[in-house]
Each structure stands twice: as C-alpha cells, then as structure tokens.
C-alpha cells in the first residue's frame, strides 16, 4: 500500500519503519515544517493516510483526508470532543476512518479485560482508581487511553461521580496504565506496560491493512476481531 504519514515525529518514524518492514511504501511525510505539502494532489498519490499529529491539528487533518476520499487512521489524542463530527463526515463522504486511543494489541486486550472485570465487580463495595504514567514530554494529561478506561468503567458502573485518574509524567516512560480495586481487606490490580513504540506501530500497520477497501467508521476492536 502507498501510505502517507501526517505527523512525522517519533511515532511517525516508528510507523514508517514498521510499514517498510511489512512491504508498504511511504509516499508522503508531513511534519510541522511542510504542512503545505498536505494537499489534494499529494492525497491522490496515496492509498491511506496515517494521522499522528497534535490535538490542535488532528480534526483539520482528518477532515481534509475524508473530504478528499482518502481513508484515514488516527491515533492522535486530545481532540475527542469533535469525533462525532468526524463520524458524520465519514458517513456523508462514504469514506473510511479508524480511530484508536491506543494501537497496542496488548492494550486493546487490556480494554476488554477491564470491561470484563468491571462486570464482576459491579455488586461489590470496592473502590477503584485509574493510574497512568508517561514520559515527561507527553502533551495531554490525562492520556487518551486513561480517558477511555475511565469512560468504559463509568458506563459499566453507571456512576454519577467520575472515577479518578492519577497521571504521572516521568522521564522517558513509554506508557503504563493500571486499574486498581481496593478495600480494607485486599486489592485487585490490572496493569499494561508498553516497552517501546514498536508495539504501537505494529498495531497501526495491522489497522492500515484492515481498513483497505472498507467503508465506515472502525476501531481497534474491529481489527482484533478480524
């Protein structure tokens, strides 16, 4: 597949490396210095766009791709309040869009484990807390992954009060997410730890291959089921 990467930072470079390993071709690489190269002509040269930019740029980038009939995958967090607009636009354009707060296969298994555990805990008196830790330069706090975990738990427990998230920004940590249930008697703790960016990049490429020749709005759950 001919791929365009929108957001050619550390994650974009990891995606490029993984894409090349899997036999794909990188046609377009957009960073903050060459945004003018993202245009109708360059989009016509690619099969799919992978968008990992910034919270302030993501909505505009994704919309532009969909308006130009270019399937797009996005992993940018911090702009989710506008995602319903993207879903509507994708349906209007009969396009293809896949979004994930986290592309790690292990993290997406964690999401399902978290939902299953929550169902078992509904009738108990345990309190719970979400904790996430990332590198010091991460721009959004809390992380999009932690917000998804929080949203899933709030849906399961139908809570009026929002489950707290403890966010840490330390050193060069790739990403840690944990959910803890605790009482005066004991604790239950589930945790996912990312060791490197390659795990995320592999998930992105799997999602890219999944989205080929499809129409609609998808998530990593669809990719894992496939």
Residue range 98-128, pLDDT digits in tens: 999 899 999 999 999 999 999 999 999 999 9
Q: What is the mean pLDDT of residues 202-208?
A: 97
Token pair, residue 176, equals 């840690």
Residue range 16-64, pLDDT digits in tens: 999 999 999 999 999 999 999 999 999 999 999 999 999 999 999 999 9
162, pLDDT greater than 90: no
160, pLDDT greater than 80: no
Q: What is the mean pLDDT of residues 169-195?
A: 95
State the pLDDT confidence band at 138, using cuts at 50, 70 and 90: confident
CA distance 32 to 28: 13
CA distance 99 to 130: 22
CA distance 57 to 72: 14
Q: What is the mean pLDDT of residues 73-80?
A: 92
State the pLDDT confidence band at 214, using cuts at 50, 70 and 90: very high
Q: What is the mean pLDDT of residues 195-218?
A: 95
Across 160-182, b (16+ Cβ under 10 Å) vs e yields: eeebebeeeeeeebbbbbbbbbe
> What's the predicted TM-score (pTM) here?
0.85
13, pLDDT greater than 80: yes
Q: Where is average pLDDT lowest: 46-60, 148-162, 182-196?
A: 148-162
State the pLDDT confidence band at 77, using cuts at 50, 70 and 90: confident
Strand pairing report for 72-74 and 48-51: parallel
Cβ neighbours of residue 79 under 8 Å, at least 6 residues apart? 55, 56, 58, 59
Which residues are known to be catalytic? 134, 138
Predicted confidence at residue 128, as pLDDT, reads 94
């Amino acid at each position: 597949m001919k791929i365009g990467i929108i957001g050619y930072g550390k994650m974009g470079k990891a995606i490029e490396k993984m894409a090349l390993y899997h036999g794909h071709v990188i046609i377009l690489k957009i960073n903050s210095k060459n945004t003018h190269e993202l245009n109708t002509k360059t989009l016509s040269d690619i099969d799919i766009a992978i968008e990992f930019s910034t919270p302030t740029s993501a909505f505009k980038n994704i919309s532009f791709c969909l308006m130009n009939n270019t399937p797009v995958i996005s992993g940018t967090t911090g702009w989710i309040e506008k995602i319903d607009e993207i879903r509507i636009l994708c349906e209007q354009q009969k396009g293809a869009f896949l979004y994930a707060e986290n592309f790690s296969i292990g993290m997406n298994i964690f999401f399902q484990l978290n939902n299953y555990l929550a169902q078992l805990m509904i009738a108990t008196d345990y309190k719970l807390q979400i904790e996430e830790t990332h590198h010091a330069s991460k721009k959004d706090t809390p992380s999009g992954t932690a917000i998804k975990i929080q949203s899933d738990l709030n849906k399961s427990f139908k809570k009026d009060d929002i489950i707290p998230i403890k966010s840490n920004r330390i050193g060069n940590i790739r990403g840690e997410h944990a959910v803890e249930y605790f009482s005066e008697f004991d604790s239950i703790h589930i945790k996912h730890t990312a060791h490197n960016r390659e795990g995320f990049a592999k998930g992105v490429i799997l999602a890219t291959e999944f989205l080929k020749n499809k129409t609609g709005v998808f998530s990593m759950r669809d990719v894992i089921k496939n």
